[in-house]
Chains A and B, each alone.
Chain A
Amino acid sequence: MSTPILRMQGICKSYGPGIIAADDVSFTVDAGEIHALAGENGAGKTTLMKILFGMERPQSGDIYIRDERVLITDPNIAMAHGIGMVHQHFMLVDDLTVAENVILGIEPKKHGLLDREAARALVRSMAEQYDMSVDPDSFIRDLSVATKQKVEILKVLARRADIVILDEPTAVLTPQETKRFFEQLSALRKAGRTIIIITHKLSEIKTICDRITIMRKGRTVGTYDVASISEQEISRRMIGGDPSPDLIPEPVDPGPVLLSVQNVSCIAPSGKFALRDVHFDLRGGEMLGIVGVEGNGQRELVDILTGLRTAYDGTVILAGTTLRGMSIARIRHQGLSFVPEDRMTVGVNLDGSLLDNATAAIRDDRSFNVGPFQADRKLAAFARRLVSRYEVQHDSLRESIRHLSGGNMQKVVCGREIGICKTVLVADQPTRGVDVGAVRTIHDQIESLRRHGKAILLISSDLTEIRTLCRQAIVLHQGEIVARIDDLAGCSEEELGLYMLGLKRQDGRGATS
């Protein structure tokens, strides 16, 4: 059994002075096991696996596969050694079909030309063998997240990978889909494949994994048999001490209705409803969670509330005024602010400085302008207050925000948006891909905003986050509200999962559809 199939030794990787992703990391995996690579966000797990897969070059360190030293300089070599990787952000070409995606790079040929029939046959036979049904001719852009993941795994299997790396595979799945996914993984293990799962979800490690390697701040903490280590112990080693006490939302008396969404519908470019008769009220001092599998109307809802989308039916009333016809600037002037889902393209301007990004929302404010000119000192003072309050690690206000870590970037975004919030905060995945320290800072600030009587709409694919911060939630499925939950503590994850998949609805229609 325990023959190491993979050994990584002394791996060092830095992205520049001061940014160390892996510091003398060692990592060993046995053949035929499911091995968890665990750690908080930013611990260096993904970097280590990207090095193994040849997508990053380490400054030093060695990799051995079946006790043979190998030099992996690009994914081709990794694949030739039987390593395959499913990335957290799917590496699929939306405008190609399933079959084309699976065979990309290893195309079957006939008379020197592309053999599409062979590609289809390959997908069909593998889908049958591993019990993952998928239509080889459908386009990726039309698939659900869970199906896209299947395609990713088929891609890896088609390359005959013995070592399969999965980066946060369950982050986008419902509890039910996760269960099904784990069954497929067990089948793969039985078929003799070695699987490495990057994750930070303790329950999953316990359910499916044989051994675990824990990383913290770019170093390995140790490797353990999952059976011999408790969840608490794993958590302690990931964090490097006892976890800080849980955040417990303090109830406050609900204020006036600040946001009222009435019968809102809109159409996707495909012609289908993206939102259908969505209806809810949000009061000051309340935090409402929006639960749902990605792509079930969350984006459209956020876009409508923030003014990014003006084509919709129905009415939205923000602090007593209808939203229709208001520009984005006007909506923000009414005190609605917005933490966008896509940090790197919408949240921050990567080409701008830290100062530009921190002050972008207050530039038009009268107190920051003198005649036609901007009050540069006041702007700098504002930015300085923000970075100290949120403990943003930085060299100077004028440095490019590009040089900050993801967590620090997100703190700047949240600081900017929470700082100007006067009525409603729309927080879309506010802590995705952010390190633990930053998560806590951001949660504390959002929670304090709520305590001060503002209304908060929290959209998150992380159920734990919603359950920590919110008491109430609504579940979106295919653009419709299928459940309204007034007390999340009284609703199990499994039940939420059923709502998210549309298998159950509060109006009882789920059973028939």
Chain B
Amino acid sequence: MKRLSAFLTLLRSRVKDLLSSPRLLSAIIEGGRMLIAILIAYLVAFMVIGIVSDDPAMAIRWFVLGPFSSATEFGEVLKNATPLLFAGIAACLIIRGGNFNMFTEGAFYAGGLVTALVAIGFEGPGFLAIVVPLAAGTLAAMLIGYIPAKLKAKYEVNEFVSSIMFNFIVMWIGIWLISNVVIDITSGDNATAPIPDASRLRILIENTNVTTGLLIALVIAIIAYLYMFKTRFGFRLRMTGDNRAFARGVGIDVARAGISSQLLGIGVAGLGGGVEILANYHRFNWKTLPGFGFDGFMVAIIAKNRPLLVPLAALFIGYLRSGADLMAFNSDVAQEVVQIIQGLILILVASEAFFSSAWFRGLLAKRMFRRKRFASATEVDRHA
């Protein structure tokens, strides 16, 4: 019994030591905030489902458990997560560089289109049939994305507005191309010719739609991590994003750092578009923007702009999507309920006031004083 209590005291002091480490503490607070945010968002979503559905229990069951019902369904989660992973990494690079360049959206479109066109026209041997189209798509996206990035760096043209305008321009030019110039009439659609089999990405896991694209995405995540946190270029990017004036003062070329962060992000998004097309489409036939660009910003924020956490965040959103698809297929609730969850999580996670560490510190300070006053009061008693 005595031993047990001694052990408990030891354990308590160990836990106390651990808790007083500020980095661990903030990691715990961050994780807790994330969980609470997700819970709140789910609660709201369930309430909404409860209101609109005739059989909410079934809808919710499909939504929450559906993705785990079979390997094929879980494969859908991974498939959905792949473009989100690219988009999330792209957004990490851009946000950490201090910009809100939304051209990742257009980059997915342009990257996908150019990749498809090059794959159709270029019939290289072996793996070149995949690498060359993807490289072409990436470069094409970067080439267009250079314009808003450069304009921001040189003349402080608001990159958010200009990049959104560019998205629409790229989309309409793309639609024009696939309905007039590169249209394949035999498809019965406004679409390109079919993508040759040699260029299509191989299935990674049998009985699922998971392709090697997932591996490419994971490699990109690791490279992005190394670039951002282990090289001097990454240091310049982070300092510029945190505080331009500071970065400039210590001799960093902030214009260059800003442009390269946006270009790299847009390149990753362009690659993501190409991978998406080579993995899941027989022809390029997009008539709207895919929406991955905006999703990427959400994934990045949930991942706290850390490339190594992006796969987790992408997986989570991919899971949400798959569940929503299953729910929409098997019940009377539209999958757009996901957007409600995503919007709420985004706001709560990015909020500085929602269970913030500053709020937490304030709480600790209050407790400290209370204890101190109690101590001084007893001291006075003792003197008396």
Contacts and interface: CB of A to CB of B under 8 A. Distances in A.
A424 B168 CA distance: 52
Nearest to A57: B362
B155 interface: no
B365 interface: yes
B352 interface: no
Interface string B220-238: 0000001000111001101
A17 interface: yes
Interface stretch (A163-171, A292-300, A348-356, A477-485): A348-356
Contact of A16 (B230, B231, B236, B364): B364
Contacts of B249: 306, 308, 328, 338, 340, 346-347
Contacts of A59: 365-366, 369
A12 interface: yes
Contact of A329 (B23, B251, B364, B368): B251
Contacts of A109: none
Contacts of A328: 248-249, 251, 253
Contact of B251 (A15, A332, A349, A399): A332
B243 interface: yes
Interface in A323-375: 327-329, 331-333, 338, 340, 342, 345-352, 356, 360-361, 363-364, 369, 372-374
Contact of B247 (A16, A347, A349): A349
A348 B251 CA distance: 13
A59 B366 CA distance: 6
Given A349-B246, A351-B243, A399 B22 contact: yes
Interface string A8-23: 0000101111000000
A227 to B, nearest CB: 35
Contacts of B226: 373
B239 A360 contact: yes
B369 A60 contact: yes
A348 B369 contact: no
B251 A361 contact: yes
B246 A373 contact: no
Contacts of A395: 22
A372 B226 CA distance: 10
B250 interface: yes
A196 to B, nearest CB: 25
Given A17-B368, A349-B243, A372 B231 contact: yes
Interface in A1-54: 12, 14-17
A398 interface: yes
B245 interface: yes
Contacts of A346: 245-246, 249
Interface in B239-281: 239, 242-243, 245-253
Nearest to A373: B230
A351 B251 contact: no
A372 B243 CA distance: 24
Interface string A145-164: 00000000000000000000
B239 A349 contact: yes
Contacts, number: 93
Contacts of B248: 308, 328
Contact of A374 (B230, B245, B362): B230
B239 A356 contact: yes
Nearest to A60: B369
A346 B232 CA distance: 20
Contacts of A12: 369, 373
A398 B242 CA distance: 16
B365 A363 contact: no
A396 interface: yes
User: In this complex, which of B236, B247, B250 has the most chain A Cβ atoms within 10 angstroms of its Cβ?
Assistant: B250
Contacts of B364: 16-17
A347 B246 contact: yes
Interface residues of B, number: 29
B2 interface: no
Contacts of A327: 251, 253
B243 A363 contact: no
B295 to A, nearest CB: 25
Interface residues of A, number: 42
A19 to B, nearest CB: 8
B232 A364 contact: yes
B242 to A, nearest CB: 4
Nearest to B250: A360
B361 interface: yes
Contacts of B247: 349
Interface string A57-82: 00110000000000000000000000
A380 to B, nearest CB: 14
Contacts of A416: 250
Interface in B325-382: 361-362, 364-366, 368-369, 373
Given A329-B253, A349-B242, A350-B243, A398 B23 contact: yes
Contacts of A398: 23
Given A60-B369, A348-B246, A352-B239, A17 B361 contact: yes
A355 to B, nearest CB: 11
A347 B172 CA distance: 46
A15 B365 CA distance: 7
Contacts of A396: 22-23
Contacts of B232: 363-364, 369, 374
Given A60-B373, A373-B231, A395-B22, A16 B365 contact: yes
Given A16-B365, A60-B369, A369-B232, A345 B23 contact: no
Contacts of A342: 245
Contacts of A403: 22
Interface of A: 12, 14-17, 59-60, 306, 308, 327-329, 331-333, 338, 340, 342, 345-352, 356, 360-361, 363-364, 369, 372-374, 376, 395-396, 398-399, 403, 416
Given A16-B361, A349-B243, 14 more contacts: A16-B362, A17-B365, A328-B253, A345-B245, A346-B246, A347-B249, A348-B246, A349-B242, A349-B247, A351-B242, A352-B239, A356-B235, A361-B250, A373-B226
15 contacts: A15-B361, A16-B361, A59-B366, A306-B249, A327-B253, A329-B251, A340-B249, A345-B243, A345-B245, A351-B242, A351-B243, A352-B239, A360-B250, A369-B232, A416-B250
Q: Which 5 A-B pairs have the closest CB atoms?
A: A329-B251, A351-B242, A16-B361, A14-B365, A349-B243
